[in-house]
Structure formats: structure tokens, C-alpha cells
Amino acid sequence: MMLSRRRFLRNVGICMALPAMESFWSNRLVGATPAAAMGAGAGERMVATTATGAPLRTAFLYFPNGAIPAAWWPTGADKDFQLNRTLAPLANVKEKIQLVGGLSDLSANSGPDGGGDHARANGTFLTGVRIAKSGGSDYRAGVSADQIMAQQIGLLTPFRSLELSCDSIQNAGTCDTGYSCIYQHNLSWSSPTVPLTPEVDPRLLFERLFGAGPRNERQKNLLIRQQQQRSILDFILEDSRALQAKISGRDRSKLDEYFTSVRDIEVRIAQAEKSRANRPQPEVETPGGIPASTTEYMRLMFDMLHLAFQTDSTRVATFLMGSEGSDRTYPELSIADGHHFLTHHNNRADFVEKVTQIDVWYATQLAYFLEKMEATRDIDGNSLLHNSQIVYGSGNADGNRHTHTNLPVIVAGGGGGTLRAGRYIKYNDEPVTNLYLSMMDRIGGKPVERFGDSTGRLANL
């Protein structure tokens, strides 16, 4: 069990005793669900389920500002490749990842829209469509890949999807030229105009998943909360219907956002009531709020994501490790300059070195997560990592020049045995959306023909 006990304890503020974790294991939810049971009409095919009947999890992890290409790409090819400096921290899970070269996000190119590559890279990475250049009045992106998946399989789990971010602060002065900040702070979009605000606080995320309060009262609290929510749903839906008759235009679409959100809650409560008996409660203390150290913060968020996957609370998640264009400094690396500032290095050696160190740092956090996923047994005896497909990437390739071809992308996990990990594959300039289509195929359900700017599936994944 890899849950960092000391870290949780520190975050609780008061020191408390923790019982053994074993009971966590005796209590696992069986994940196999026939597609027919959810009305997908796909016969006996299982959606988001591996061949052995375990849940298949999908995650998209985004890191900002690209990576120094010379230090990122490995030497060698296919199964015979050597990790370069940036990805050296992944040595322990080398056989569980695929380095995917030659993918591009052309929607992030400037085209007629001029500056704003960071807003575009962030806004297009999972949507694959050009985003409207707007300070706000008519912003528009597209449904993101994770949400296409969530729409198909969201009902299998208590949470349709989870959105995480380690960028908790929105500064008015930090958004990219001519684009609303909405593009840089959201990775997931449930409709072209509804971004899914990510959760930045590990404690709130935990309480949302498992309930608030002391460990032995969480289950009860979660239940009370849901009952109380249900008691007011009828009223607020009726209140919105009364409003609907009076309004038009953009106001109506705002009210639609409200409707959709309330219905989502309704469905979730119904789901929770069905699966209440099986719902596992992790035997861990609720974490504290946002740690001061970025490393601690990111690992704690990864702990939460791991916990969510382990307890089958969701099967789809996105994690914005840093907003594109992030100018975060890294005191833990003794780097006092901002990340974004440094990426415009124009081959100045000391800047390139610092950016590489930051790239290595991000890869180290990824390694922490992947190793933890690998060390956790799933219900079918395989590791959680084996039963996952996890994309780690950035919408910027070379932050110095704002290029969006040959993006740094890793596909981690075995996809439940459908991904041939432990390889370095090079494609000949294919849209990154082709990768998402290939991942959607592995989830099953209704086949998606095209997505964003996709041109097909990735062969040889």
C-alpha cells in the first residue's frame, strides 16, 4: 500500500491513529458491467472493462509549455530504446509506457488568429478543434475527448468523470493575448461552451468522493448530503422551468448549464443509491488543503487520482498539472525564474538547462503516480496501471518556438492488455486526436467515427 501515511497525517493537522489498511481490499467493487445493462445496445460487449472483467481507466495528464525536445526524445526505436534525460525518472516503469512521436495539434497553430499559442494549446489539446478567439463574449471550444468517453461510460461509476488541476490561482494578468482565461484553466469541455472547472483542493476532492468528516462517519455524511440534495432538486428544477419561459438568447443557454448540472447530480444520487452497499470507503484520513510545496501538492493530487481509480469512483479523469503558459517558479529546484519565461530560451544554455530540470521534475511526478498505479493490485490480480490507459502530454512541443507538431506524448499503461507498452513509436505527423480515437475504441460502446481534426486511428499502438 503506497498511500503516504505520514503525508496524510501531517495534513490532518492533529496526529491520529490509523488502523491497518487491509480491509480496504476485502471490499472491492466488481467492475464488470455489460453494456446492455446501461442501455448502450451493444449486446454483451463490456464498456470500459478489460478482458478479465476489471475496470478500464483512462486519464489525460497535461503538463505546460512543452519540453526541451533534445532531452525528451529517446534513442533507439520500438522495443529497443533508451530513455533520455527528461524521462529518466520513468526507468522503473519503462516497460509500462509507450513514447509516441509524430503527433500534432495543428488547431493550436496561429492561423488567422495571431498570438495566443498557450491559450490555444491548452484549449485544443483534448478538443481537437480551433477555439474562438474571444475575450469572453463568444468563447467556444469543443467537447473534449475525456467527455466523449464520459458520456458513454459515466453511468458505470459514482462520478462520470473527474477534473483535477494544480493551478489554484487565477490572475487577471496572466491570460494569453485576446483569449479569455477560460481556455487556459480548463482542459475538459462537456459542450463547446461548458468547460468543466477542475478541482484544485485535495481535501475537497476527497470529501466529494468519499464524504466529509471523520472516517467512520463519512459514509453516513455522504448519504445525508445526498438525501438533502434530493429533497430540494424538485423545487429548483421547477424554479428553473418557471424562469425558462421568460428568458431568451444567451441567458437561456446559461440556464441550460444549470439544468444539465442539476440533472447530473440527480443521476449521480440515483446511481449512488443503487451501489451504496458496494461502495468502498478508503481507510485513510481526509487530506488537508493545498500543501505549500508544489511537489507535495502534485503528489497529493496524484494520490487522490489513484484513490479514485482504485475505488472505481470514476473511470475517466483529466489532470491539468499546470496551466499552459504557466510561469510557476520552482524553489525546490532552486529555479527562481518563471517556467514560461525560461522556455523562451533561444538556446541560451543556462535557460535550456533550467527548463530541462523542470521537465525532469514533471516526469518525476508522473513516475510517482505510475509507480503507485503499478504497485496496486486490481480485482483481476493485474496492476491498476495494467488496467489503465494514461496520456501524459503537452499541446506545445517546443515552448521556445511555440510549435505544435511532434508533441511530447506518452501513453502509459496496458489498456487491460490491449496496449503494447515498453516501446518508442514514431508516427508520420498524425493528429493527436487519432490517439484519442484509438483509446475510445478500447473503451467500447458506440464507435466514434471522427473526433476533432482526426484523420483515422493510430495503427500499431
Partner 1 sequence: MSGASPVGAPDSGVVQFHQTVEPILKANCYDCHGDGAHKAGLAFDELTTKDDLLHNPQLWWKVLRNTRSHIMPPPDGPVPSAAEQLALEQWIKTAAFGMVPNQFDPGRTTVRRLNRTEYRNTIRDLIGVDFDTEHALAADDIGYGFDNIGDVLTLSPMRMEKLIEAAQTVVKKGVPSEPTAPTDQMAFGRQFLTEDGTKNGDPMTFYKDRTVAHTYPIAIAGEYRIVMATSVDGTGNPDPMRCKGTVLCDGKEFYSQEYSWADCMYFQNERVLRLEPGQHKFEFQLEPIDRTLKQPGKMDLKLVWMQVVGPLDPKAWPAAPNYARFFPRDRAPADPAARRKYARELLTKFATKAYRRPVDAATVDRLLKIAEGIYTTPGTTFETGISRAMVAILASPRFIFRFEEAMPAARGQSFVQVDEYSLASRLSYFLWSSMPDDELMRLAGTGRLRKNLAAQVQRMLADSKSAAFVESFTGQWLLSRDILHVAINRRIVLEREGIKPPAPTRRNFGGPPPPPTELTLEQRDALKREAEAYFSHVARDNRDILELIDSNYVFLNQTLVSYYGLPADTATGPEMRQVTLAADDPRGGGVITMGSVLAVTSNPTRTSPVKRGKWVLENILGAPAPPPPPDIPSLEETEKKISDRKPTQREVLAKHREDALCASCHARMDPLGLALENFNALGLYRTQELDQPVDATGSLMTGESFKNVRELKQILASQHRQEIYRTITEKLLIYSLGRGLEYYDVPTVDKIVERLEHGGGRFSELLMGVIESVAFQQRRVASEPAAAPAKPVSVVTSN
Task: Give the C-alpha separation, 213 to 207, whole Å.
Answer: 8
Q: Which is nearer to partner 1, 25 or 341 (CB)?
A: 341
Instruction: From 169-177, 296-304, 314-322, 380-388, give the range in contact with partner 1 by CB under 8 A.
Output: 169-177
Kind of pairing, strands 409-412 and 97-104? Answer: antiparallel
Give the nearest distance from C-beta 130 to partner 1 in angstroms: 10
Using CB under 8 A, which of 283, 337, 353, 371 touches partner 1? 337
Give the nearest distance from C-beta 108 to partner 1 in angstroms: 12
The verdict on 168 binding partner 1 (CB under 8 A) reads yes
Residue with cell 496524484: 302
**Residue numbers 345-404 binding partner 1 by CB under 8 A:** 345-346, 348, 351, 401-402
Using CB under 8 A, which of 219, 271, 329, 364 touches partner 1? 329
**Residue numbers 103-162 binding partner 1 by CB under 8 A:** 110, 114-117, 127-129, 135-139, 142-143, 148, 160
Q: Which is nearer to partner 1, 387 or 394 (CB)?
A: 394
Cβ(430)–Cβ(455) under 8 Å?
A: yes
**Residue numbers 49-108 binding partner 1 by CB under 8 A:** none
Q: Which is nearer to partner 1, 337 or 371 (CB)?
A: 337
Instruction: From 52-60, 87-95, 97-105, 235-243, give the range in contact with partner 1 by CB under 8 A.
Output: 235-243
Cα–Cα nearest to 105, from 428, 403, 362, 456: 403
What are the residues facing 162 on neighbouring strands?
A: 317
Give the nearest distance from C-beta 207 to partner 1 in angstroms: 9
Instruction: From 22-30, 58-66, 223-231, 291-299, give the range in contact with partner 1 by CB under 8 A.
Output: 223-231
Residue with cell 484519442: 436
Give the nearest distance from C-beta 418 to partner 1 in angstroms: 21
Helix (H/G/I), strand (E/B), else coil: 393: strand
Task: Give the C-alpha separation, 84 to 265, whole Å.
Answer: 45
What are the residues facing 103 on neighbouring strands?
A: 430
The verdict on 292 binding partner 1 (CB under 8 A) reads no
Instruction: From 332-340, 357-365, 389-397, 414-422, give the range in contact with partner 1 by CB under 8 A.
Output: 332-340
Give the nearest distance from C-beta 449 to partner 1 in angstroms: 5
Instruction: From 25-33, 274-282, 342-350, 412-420, give the range in contact with partner 1 by CB under 8 A.
Output: 342-350
Kind of pairing, strands 194-195 and 189-191? Answer: antiparallel
Instruction: From 75-83, 90-98, 238-246, 299-307, give the range in contact with partner 1 by CB under 8 A.
Output: 238-246
Torsion of CA 306, 308, 311, 314, to 10 degrees: -130
Task: Give the C-alpha separation, 110 to 130, whole Å.
Answer: 10
**Residue numbers 171-210 binding partner 1 by CB under 8 A:** 171-175, 177-178, 180-182, 185-186, 190-201, 204, 208
Give the nearest distance from C-beta 400 to partner 1 in angstroms: 8
Cα–Cα nearest to 120, from 130, 407, 64, 112: 130
Give the nearest distance from C-beta 398 to partner 1 in angstroms: 11
Q: Which is nearer to partner 1, 340 or 423 (CB)?
A: 340
Sequence-ordered list of residues with C-beta below 8 angstroms from that of 455, at least 6 positions apart, any chain:
430, 431, 434
The x, y and z cell numbers of residue 362, run together, are 514533471
Give the nearest distance from C-beta 170 to partner 1 in angstroms: 4
The x, y and z cell numbers of residue 374, run together, are 503499478
The verdict on 231 binding partner 1 (CB under 8 A) reads yes
Instruction: From 45-53, 65-73, 416-424, 443-451, give the range in contact with partner 1 by CB under 8 A.
Output: 443-451
Instruction: From 90-98, 227-235, 371-379, 412-420, give the range in contact with partner 1 by CB under 8 A.
Output: 227-235
Sequence-ordered list of residues with C-beta below 8 angstroms from that of 332, at least 6 positions apart, any chain:
293, 294, 295, 361
**Residue numbers 21-50 binding partner 1 by CB under 8 A:** 41
State the DSSP string of 314-343: -SEEEEESS-TT----BGGGTB-S-HHHHH
Helix (H/G/I), strand (E/B), else coil: 195: strand
Phi-psi region of 116 (alpha: psi -120 to 50; beta: other; left: phi over 0): left
Residue with cell 494514461: 390
Task: Give the C-alpha separation, 292 to 275, whole Å.
Answer: 37
Task: Give the C-alpha separation, 434 to 451, whole Å.
Answer: 8
Element (DSSP H or E) covering residue 232: helix 215-244
Q: Which is nearer to partner 1, 424 or 451 (CB)?
A: 451
The verdict on 260 binding partner 1 (CB under 8 A) reads yes
Residue 22, number of CB atoms within 10 A of its CB:
10
The verdict on 448 binding partner 1 (CB under 8 A) reads yes
Residue with cell 476527497: 206
Q: Which is nearer to partner 1, 79 or 348 (CB)?
A: 348
Size of the site for partner 1 (CB under 8 A): 106
The verdict on 261 binding partner 1 (CB under 8 A) reads yes
